[in-house]
Amino acid sequence: MFCYNCGCHLSEHDFCTACGADVSLYKRIMHVSNMFYNDGLEKAGVRDLSGAINSLRQSLKFNKNNIEARNLLGLVYFEMGEVVAALSEWVISKNMRPEKNIADDYIGMVQSNASRLDAINQTIKKYNQALVYCTQDSKDLAVIQLKKVLSLNPRFVRAHQLLALLYMDSEQWERAQRELNKCINIDCNNTQTLRYLREVELMLVPDENVKQPGRYKKDETVRYQSDNEIIIQPVNVREGKSSGVSTLINIGIGLVIGLAAMYFLAVPAAESAAKNEAQKSITEIGNQLDAKTATIKELETQISNLQAQNDNLNRELDGYVGADGTLSIIDSLLTAATAYLETEDVQQTAVNLENIAKSITIEETSEAFQKLYQTLLSTIGPELSQSYYAAGSEAYSSDDYAAAIENFQRAVYYDAANGDALYNLARTYRKSGDNEKAIETYDKVLELFPDTEWARKAGRDRTALAGESN
């Protein structure tokens, strides 16, 4: 303790040993301040925060320089969610004693976390907004705001109290009680909280002597609203002393009722569910059956079509295959080849080959078949061609142009290199009056045998024929 006059350290005497000033009253004031500080400390220790605030304020009214009292006051404010008030006290404390002051740590703790400081500011703003909503009679919005505030700062006693007041106003007594209990847990001796709590308890457990008009319709029931539901709680209803037998009877009746309810409610429902399930299964199976039937019909149609194709192919094959199972056309070719090798009869071989060519398309036969056919044809071709050429010439001489044309055509067919036959075919066409075919055949001679005597003759005749036609 220091002298107010000179600032020297005071002794146990009632005057300053340095300047001689009377400090008896001053010392008493300091003692009173310390006494209030001790009282506040004691109350804060048992969570009587409101009481602690009163004592500490008193302490500071006597001695504003009581740093411990000021720091403790800030701490109590902080505990009650009054962060700005707490910060104010700590800042003043720090200004009064800049060194070795725990307020420095407190301020640092709050200010070090920017997001936390921002959250604190948000809670204060929301609380103030909730107050505005209350004055504007928007109580639902106020409740929502206060719930947000308390989710951010659950120790904000004033917010709890205001929320409880709103719940009380809407006759949600249980909720109000819950909020007030939270207040009590933070500040156990808050007069306002206790007053509200008393009111709420009066509503929840009504005294018979205190009549609440409009809230209790009958003496034997308690009626109050919780959220949107009206709770009707019977009071003064005591359970009679029941004997063991009556208990057993009651249990038996209960069992019978339960079984009956099961029989009449649960069993039909289960049966209905089982029937529905069976019906679903039957429907599903029916659908599957229809799908399979359709598939079977489709497959049967395919089988019949394939069977018809198979029969056609078999018939075609039978036409080709002889009695001993070999293809008749191959047999014919082999027979023709064998006959030629044995007899070298060109005419008969030619007849056989012509028969083969008439019955099938040579180009569609196998490679070996074509090779044998062509070999046979080229072997007998020149000789046969000469034979037909001779016959054609004879017919031409006897003016039988039709026979001559046929023979010349065969001579050309069997030997494409037979230029005489081709030239004479053209001449015969000319003689027979078929000038068009004659010119066509002359052109073939010019094309196939250029620079030959046949070409020269053909050119001359063609020119003459063309002149005749024009």
Partner 1 sequence: MINFEEELKKFHPSLEVEDAEEAIYNQDLTDMADLLVKMIKESEEKPKQQ
Binding residues for partner 1, total number by CB under 8 A: 44
When the beta carbons of 135 and 397 are compared against partner 1, the nearer one is: 135
Listed residue (39, 91, 85) closest to 62, CA to CA: 39
162 neighbors 144 (Cβ within 8 angstroms)? no
Binding to partner 1, residues 126-145 (CB under 8 A): 127-128, 131, 134-135
174 binds partner 1 (CB under 8 A): no
87 binds partner 1 (CB under 8 A): yes
Sign of CA dihedral 356, 361, 365, 371: positive
Q: Is 171 left (phi over 0), alpha (psi -120 to 50) or beta?
A: left
- The residue from 11, 113, 121, 246 that contacts partner 1 (CB under 8 A) is 121
With H, G, I as helix, E, B as strand and everything else as coil, classify residue 321. strand
8 binds partner 1 (CB under 8 A): no
CA 139 to chain centre: 43
**First-to-last C-alpha distance (Å) of the chain:** 157
CA 89 to chain centre: 58
61 binds partner 1 (CB under 8 A): yes
Q: Interface with partner 1 by CB under 8 A: which range of 26-34, 229-237, 335-343, 357-365?
A: 26-34
Ordered alpha helix ranges (H), 262-366:
267-320, 328-343, 346-359
When the beta carbons of 60 and 150 are compared against partner 1, the nearer one is: 60
Binding to partner 1, residues 347-376 (CB under 8 A): none
165 binds partner 1 (CB under 8 A): yes
How far apart, in whole angstroms, are the C-alpha atoms of residue 423 and residue 428? 9
- The residue from 48, 82, 179, 420 that contacts partner 1 (CB under 8 A) is 82
Q: Interface with partner 1 by CB under 8 A: which range of 155-163, 268-276, 315-323, 420-428?
A: 155-163
50 binds partner 1 (CB under 8 A): no
Give me the least distance between CB of 63 and partner 1, in Å please.
6
Binding to partner 1, residues 233-272 (CB under 8 A): none
Contacts made by residues 331-335, CB under 8 angstroms, sequence distance 24+? 332/356, 332/359, 333/369, 333/372, 333/373, 333/376
How far apart, in whole angstroms, are the C-alpha atoms of residue 209 and residue 339? 145
190 CB neighbour count, 10 Å cutoff: 24
169 binds partner 1 (CB under 8 A): yes
- Please give the angle made by the CA atoms of 301, 305 and 309, to the nearest 5 degrees: 170
When the beta carbons of 68 and 443 are compared against partner 1, the nearer one is: 68
Give me the least distance between CB of 227 and partner 1, in Å please.
19
Helices and strands of the chain, counted as H and E runs: 19, 2
Per-residue binding string, partner 1, 410-439, x by CB under 8 A, is: ------------------------------
Q: Which residues of the chain form contacts with partner 1 (CB under 8 A)?
A: 4-5, 21-22, 25-26, 29-30, 32-33, 60-65, 82-85, 87-88, 91-92, 117, 120-121, 124-125, 127-128, 131, 134-135, 158, 161-162, 165, 168-169, 192, 195-196, 199
